[in-house]
């Protein structure tokens, strides 16, 4: 794999596709408009139209997906038949607890009545049309399942949770990773059918958020009436087509709108039982040199200014580094994605060959992994890097000052099996845990301030990661 195809899904789940503004397009049978779902992640229902052709089990979908930023369009893959709900679905006996990078294949035999919707990692070329196929994303993520009761073959669970006054759900988990479950299944019965939310190694999602996010999704599914039918809706997104740059043009910014309607609507094509109309506008992105970012009072967070305004919407204290990978004379433009919630934020720092707005995916990644710089996060969006699960749990180095850590050879002298784990004093009031993989330089730094966690991931330099963490300054 090269470029972003080699990244874990949830290092990128927050980083998918531009902006969506969908109206729930599954309707209920003639019900007052006020009782209809106001907001449904539209792509969940439209994925190849497969769900619409499936009527064996009433369709329930979450009204919102909490771990997805509101400005992100979900990419999904759907099957009209669901796997049996068994312990084998979680691979509990074969799952390797030492690595979140362990992946499992989608069920090879999906031959039971029901529906299966997988939200996964889209590949760059999937952005040309906001629906993906089985071959266009990875096999880890979150799935929604609906099936007949007779296809549930799970042991009795000793952990339940109430979804409504009448409906309770049962938990099934894989091993703990960093104190949280990375592999989980939440199952409940409703009106003679069974539904489940499956978290299959969703790397990149903050592990502390997996369970509450699954519960929020399940409650929204259980409380609403089943969904069916089609009504008008629209989604909007954008992507950067830089597959054929020229001397004067870095690529093209493509903005597209997908309008959906019942089949037979005038002016709409039909695909898999869904009427659709796609419109695009294309504008060129000039090939010009990027600015030279320096630390200064006028540019406190070099290279991050395009996401600063969105970060003000979180309720927690926002800290950003004044030392960033963009400081210096880079030949490429800052390429930023952000996820902002009330209790957390995350900014992914990468490079691209053209000046594009934040949260704009590319169709081509010419820079490969060299263009991946790192992540800055706070609150419930702090996600420990995959490498942290392979580092020995004991410390491999004594507590160090910044000056000690920055000395040539300090990190390599304190490696155990190629990994570093130790505390670094960033300031008299701040100490951080540093974990680093010497093989590729990926380093994760985490510290707490007023009981709020903050994390910095730098892909190419352990020293830079610590310098970034030490420079974290409150956003005014």
- Residue 291 above 70 pLDDT? yes
Please report the pLDDT score of residue 304 as a whole number: 94
- Residue 115 above 90 pLDDT? no
246: its two tokens? 């020229």
* Pairwise CA distance, residues 209 & 195, whole Å: 21
Which comes out higher in pLDDT, residue 281 or 127? 281
Q: Lowest-pLDDT range, 25-29, 307-311, 427-431? A: 25-29
- Residue 220 above 80 pLDDT? yes
Please report the pLDDT score of residue 381 as a whole number: 84
* Pairwise CA distance, residues 17 & 132, whole Å: 12
Q: What is the pLDDT of residues 373-431, one digit of tens each?
A: 999 999 988 876 544 455 667 899 999 999 999 999 999 999 988 889 999 999 988 99
Please report the pLDDT score of residue 371 as a whole number: 84
The values of phi and psi at residue 432, to 5°, are -130, 145
DSSP assignment of 167-210 equals -EEEEEE--EETTEESEEEEEEEETTEEEEEEEE--TTS-HHHH
Question: In terms of Cα–Cα distance, which of 116, 115, 91, 117 is closest to 105?
Answer: 91
Please report the pLDDT score of residue 180 as a whole number: 61
| Across 334-357, average pLDDT | 91
266: its two tokens? 């005038």
- Residue 96 above 50 pLDDT? no
Q: What is the pLDDT of residues 31-41, one digit of tens each?
A: 222 333 334 44
Rounded to 5°, the CA angle 378-102-84 comes to 105
In contact, 362 and 332? CB cutoff 8 Å: no
Torsion of CA 423, 428, 429, 433, to 10 degrees: -10
| Across 347-352, average pLDDT | 93
> In this structure, which long-range contacts are made by residues 29-38, counting pairs with CB atoms below 8 Å and at least 24 apart in sequence?
29/228, 29/229, 31/225, 35/225, 37/63, 37/224, 37/227, 38/63
Please report the pLDDT score of residue 272 as a whole number: 63
Query: With bands split at pLDDT 50, 70 and 90, how would you rate the model's confidence at 356?
Result: very high
- Residue 72 above 80 pLDDT? no
Dihedral sign (CA 362, 368, 369, 372): negative
- Residue 266 above 90 pLDDT? yes
> Helix or strand or coil: residue 413?
helix
In contact, 129 and 254? CB cutoff 8 Å: no
* Pairwise CA distance, residues 233 & 227, whole Å: 15
- Residue 302 above 60 pLDDT? yes
In contact, 226 and 248? CB cutoff 8 Å: no
Proportion of the chain above pLDDT 90, given as a percent:
35
Q: What is the pLDDT of residues 421-468, one digit of tens each?
A: 999 999 988 999 999 987 777 899 999 999 999 999 998 899 999 999
Please report the pLDDT score of residue 95 as a whole number: 38
Strands (E), 121-175: 141-148, 152-153, 160-162, 168-173
C-alpha distance across the termini of the chain, in Å? 40
Please report the pLDDT score of residue 178 as a whole number: 56
Query: With bands split at pLDDT 50, 70 and 90, how would you rate the model's confidence at 248?
Result: very high
Please report the pLDDT score of residue 37 as a whole number: 31
> Helix or strand or coil: residue 306?
helix
* Pairwise CA distance, residues 253 & 284, whole Å: 6
Query: With bands split at pLDDT 50, 70 and 90, how would you rate the model's confidence at 14?
Result: very low
113: its two tokens? 């009545």
The values of phi and psi at residue 46, to 5°, are -90, -10
Mean pLDDT, rounded, of the chain: 75
Please report the pLDDT score of residue 206 as a whole number: 60
Please report the pLDDT score of residue 369 as a whole number: 75
50: its two tokens? 């497969």
Query: With bands split at pLDDT 50, 70 and 90, how would you rate the model's confidence at 61?
Result: confident
In contact, 204 and 378? CB cutoff 8 Å: no
DSSP state of 24: P
| Across 318-340, average pLDDT | 91
């Amino acid at each position: 794999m090269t470029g972003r195809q080699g990244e874990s899904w949830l290092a990128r789940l927050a980083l998918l596709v531009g902006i969506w503004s969908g109206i729930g397009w599954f309707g209920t049978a003639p019900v007052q408009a006020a009782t209809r779902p106001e907001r449904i992640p539209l792509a969940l229902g439209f994925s190849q139209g497969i769900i619409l052709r499936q009527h064996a089990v009433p369709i329930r979908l979450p009204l919102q997906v909490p771990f997805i930023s509101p400005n992100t369009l979900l990419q999904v893959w759907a099957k009209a038949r669901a796997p049996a709900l068994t312990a084998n679905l979680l691979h509990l006996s074969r799952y390797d607890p030492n690595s979140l990078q362990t992946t499992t294949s989608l069920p090879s035999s999906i031959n039971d009545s029901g529906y299966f919707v997988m939200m996964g990692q889209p590949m760059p070329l999937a952005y040309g049309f906001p629906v993906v196929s089985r071959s266009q994303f990875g096999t880890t993520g979150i799935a929604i399942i609906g099936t007949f009761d007779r296809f549930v073959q799970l042991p009795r669970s000793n952990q339940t949770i109430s979804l409504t006054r009448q409906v309770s759900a049962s938990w099934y988990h894989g091993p703990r990773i960093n104190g949280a479950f990375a592999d989980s299944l939440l199952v409940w019965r409703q009106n003679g059918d069974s539904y489940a939310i499956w978290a299959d190694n969703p790397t990149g999602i903050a592990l502390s958020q997996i369970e509450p996010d699954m519960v929020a999704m399940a409650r929204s599914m259980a409380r609403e009436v089943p969904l069916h039918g089609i009504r008008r809706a629209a989604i909007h997104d954008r992507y950067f087509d830089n597959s054929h740059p020229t001397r004067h043009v870095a690529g093209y910014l493509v903005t597209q709108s997908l309008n959906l309607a019942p089949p037979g609507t005038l002016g709409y094509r039909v695909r898999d039982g869904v009427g659709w109309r796609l419109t695009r506008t294309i504008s060129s992105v000039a090939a010009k040199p990027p600015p030279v970012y320096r630390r200064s009072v006028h540019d406190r967070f070099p290279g991050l200014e395009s996401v600063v305004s969105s970060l003000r919407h979180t309720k927690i204290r926002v800290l950003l580094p004044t030392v960033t990978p963009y400081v210096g004379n880079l030949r490429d433009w800052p390429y930023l994605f952000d996820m902002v919630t009330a209790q957390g934020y995350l900014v992914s720092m990468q490079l691209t060959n053209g000046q594009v707005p934040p949260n704009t995916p590319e169709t081509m990644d010419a820079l490969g992994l060299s263009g991946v710089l790192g992540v800055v996060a706070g609150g419930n969006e702090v996600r420990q890097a995959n490498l942290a699960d392979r580092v020995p749990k004991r410390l491999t180095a004594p507590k160090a000052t910044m000056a000690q850590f920055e000395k040539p050879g300090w990190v390599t002298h304190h490696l155990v099996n190629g990994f570093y784990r130790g505390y670094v004093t960033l300031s008299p009031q701040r100490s951080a845990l540093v974990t680093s993989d010497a093989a590729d330089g990926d380093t994760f730094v985490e510290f707490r301030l007023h009981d709020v966690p903050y994390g910095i991931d730098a892909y190419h330099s352990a020293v830079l990661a610590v310098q970034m963490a030490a420079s974290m300054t409150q956003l005014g």
